[in-house]
Copies of this chain bind each other. A is one copy, B any other.
Amino acid sequence: MTYYQEHHTDFLEGLKTFLRIPSISTLTEHKPDIRRAADFALNELRAAGMTVAELIEGAGNPLVYAEWLGAPGKPTILFYGHYDVQPPDPLDEWKSPPFEPEVRNDNIYARGAVDDKGQVYIQIKAVESLLKTTGRLPVNVKFLLEGEEETGGEFIEAYVKTKPPRLKADAAVVCDTEMFAPELPSICIGLRGLVYYELIVQGAEHDLHSGIYGGAAPNPMMAVAEIITALKDRDGHIKIPGFYDRVVPPSEKEREAWARLPFDEKEYTEKEMGARELVGEPGLSVFERTWARPTVEVHGIRGGFTGEGAKTVIPARAVAKISTRLVGDQRLDESIEQTRAAVKAACPKGVTAELKLISAGAPSLTNPDNPFIHAAAAALKETFGKDTVYIRSGGSIPIVGVFDKYLGIPSVMMGFGLPDDNLHAPNEKFHLPNFYRGIEAVARYLEILGE
C-alpha cells in the first residue's frame, strides 16, 4: 500500500476540491453545482481506473455509476454514497465558510465533510489505491452514488426498484454512518424505519373569534393536542394499538454488547444533547430506546396565530408534522394502518383529521453472522487496532431497505464519522485520521473479501 501512503496530500487536496462544490440538493438554484459534483465523482472514478463510469440520467439528480468486473468467481461489492449536501444555514455560526474547506486540529471543516463526500471519497480512493498499486481489485466492484439523499432519494429508489441487471451484487457497502466513539471501529447493523406524516385537522371553514365562539367552536389546535397525546403517553410509550406487536427485542447477546460500549450518560445528556435529563420508556437502556424501540415524534404544528402579542383566534385548521420510527419486524403498511386507525379513534368531535403520508422507509436489521460483515469487522480491527463493535442507529437510511428488498443484498454499514461531527449543522467536520484510515480499511476490506 505504498500508493496509499504516498498520496495523503493528493487525497486531501482532492477532497477539498469536492467539498468546494456547493451541491445542495434542497435548493434548486444549486442544480448546476449538483451536476458539477456528479461530474467530479465520475471523473475521479474514471481516473481511479474503473472500467465503466457513467451518469445515469432520469427523473432526478444524476446517479453516478461505475464498475470494475475483472475478478471472475469473486464476490461483487456495490458501493453506495451520496454527493449532495444539506444547506449550510445558519451561516453565521460557521467558524470558516462552509464551502471553503479548512483544516484545524486534524479535522477538515466544510459542509459535506462527513456527510457524505468525505466517506464517498474514501471509497473511491480505496479502490484507486488498489488499482494503482496492483493494477486490479481483489473482488468485483460497482459504485452507485446519488445526488438527492438529503431530499428523499426518490430517483435512486425508483431506479433500484426496476432491478437493473447492472446492479447485481453480493453486498452493498454504505459509508454514511458513524463510529460509536473515537478510535472505536463500529459496524451499524440496524436502522430504524421512518414514516413521516402530515396530520391535517380542519375545524370551521374560517377562523373564529375565540371570545364570541369559544365554548361552542371546535378548535383544531386543541384537537391536534388530543390526537398527539393519544399516540404516545407521557413516559414515551406508544399508545397506537398493535404498534409493538412485531417489535423484536434485542438478543441477550446484543444487550450485553451494548452494555460494554463506552458510554457516559451524563455527558451524552448534558454535553451532546444539551438536555436536562433523558426521557422515554422506563426500564429500558438508552440504546434500546433509541435503537430498538419505535417512537412517535411531533416536529412542528402550523396554523393559527404565533406572532408577537395576542390574537384571539380559533384557527380553522392546524397541520402537524408527525413521524414514527419503526424497528424490525414492524411492517410499513401495517404501521401506517395502525397509526391511521389511532388518529381516527382519537379525533375529537367537530373536526376532521386527515393523516397524509409524506414518506415511508422500512427498518432494517442485518444479521452480523454474515461473511461480508465478518470481513468488514476484521478489516476495521486491523486498521484501528481494536475489536470492532456492532451497533445500531436510531436514524434511517432508506436505501438499505431498498437494496435488501429489491436487490436482495445485505448492506455493510462501515462508517467513519464521529458523534461530534456536526452533520446537518454548522461547522460540520471530518476527522482526518479517520479519513485516511477509512481509505485503508475499505481497501483492506476488499482484500480480505478476495482471499
Count chain A residues whose beta carbon lies closer than 8 angstroms to a beta carbon of B.
79
Contact B300 A304 (CB under 8 A): yes
CB of A257 closer than 8 Å to a CB of B: no
**Chain B CB within 10 A, most for which of A225, A280, A314:** A225
Is the CB of A66 closer than 8 A to any CB of chain B?
Answer: no
* A216 with B349, Cβ < 8 A, contacts A204-B274, A305-B321, A359-B310 known: no
| Residue contact A395 to B290, C-beta cutoff 8 Å | no
Inside 8 A of A300's CB, which chain B residues have their CB?
221, 303-306, 313, 315
Within 8 A of B (CB), among A307-346: 309-316, 319, 321, 323, 325
State whether the Cβ of A205 lies closer than 8 Å to any Cβ in chain B: yes
Q: Is A31 an interface residue (CB 8 A)?
A: no
Residue A166 at the B interface, CB < 8 A? Answer: no
Residues of B contacting A236 in the complex (Cβ-Cβ under 8 angstroms): 215
Give every chain B residue within 8 A of A228 (Cβ-Cβ): 222, 225
Chain B residues with Cβ under 8 A from A385's Cβ? none
Contact with B along A251-276 (1 / 0, CB 8 A): 00000000000000000000001111
Complex CA gap A321/B352 in Å reads: 22
* Chain B residue at smallest Cβ distance from A218: B279
| B-chain residues with CB within 8 Å of residue A203 when the two chains form the complex | 275
| Shortest CB distance A268–B (Å) | 8
User: A205-B274, A236-B215 given as contacts; is B298 within 8 A of A304 (CB)?
Assistant: yes
Interface residues as binary, A185-220 with B (CB distance below 8 Å gives 1, 0 otherwise) = 000000010101000000111101111111111110
Is the C-beta of A234 less than 8 angstroms from some C-beta in chain B?
yes
| Residues on B with beta carbons closer than 8 Å to the beta carbon of A170 | none
- Checking B215, B273, B359, B396 against A290 with a beta-carbon cut-off of 8 angstroms, the contacting residue is B215
User: A370-411, CB under 8 A of B: which get 1 and which 0?
Assistant: 000000000000000000000001111000000000000000
Chain B contacts for A221, CB-based, 8 A: 297-301
- Say whether A321 contacts B306, CB under 8 Å: yes
B298:A216 contact, CB within 8 angstroms:
no
CB pair A215 B281 closer than 8 Å: yes
Copies in the complex: 2
Q: Which residues of B contact A312 (CB under 8 A)?
A: 194, 196, 297, 299, 323
In the complex, A248 has a CB within 8 A of chain B: no
A7 proximity list for chain B (CB < 8 A): none
Set of chain B residues within 8 Å of A232, measured between Cβ atoms:
222
Provide the A223-235 mask, 1 if CB < 8 A to any CB of B, else 0. Answer: 0111011001010
Given A234-B348, A298-B219, A394-B214, are A310 and B323 neighbors across the interface (CB < 8 Å)? yes
Q: Which listed residue, B210, B295, B311, B350, touches A279 by the CB 8 Å rule? A: B350
**Separation of A274 and B152 alpha carbons in the complex (Å):** 38
Q: Within 8 Å of chain B (Cβ to Cβ): is A278?
A: yes
CB distance from A168 to the nearest CB of B (A): 30
Is the pair B229, A226 in contact by a Cβ cutoff of 8 Å? yes
Taking the closest CB of chain B, its distance from the CB of A279, in whole angstroms, is 4
The answer to whether the Cβ of A16 comes within 8 Å of any Cβ in the partner chain is no
CB distance from A123 to the nearest CB of B (A): 23
A358 within 8 A of B: yes
A424: Cβ under 8 A from any B Cβ: yes
Q: Which residues of B contact A358 (CB under 8 A)?
A: 309-310
Which residues of the partner chain B approach A273 to less than 8 Å between Cβ atoms? 204, 208, 213, 216-217
Q: Which residues of B contact A163 (CB under 8 A)?
A: none
A196 & B349 in contact (Cβ 8 Å cutoff): no
Please tell me if the beta carbons of B306 and A319 are within 8 angstroms of each other in the complex.
Answer: yes
12 A–B contacts from the bound complex (CB under 8 Å): A204-B273, A205-B275, A210-B297, A210-B325, A215-B290, A216-B280, A217-B278, A218-B279, A226-B234, A276-B352, A277-B350, A279-B348
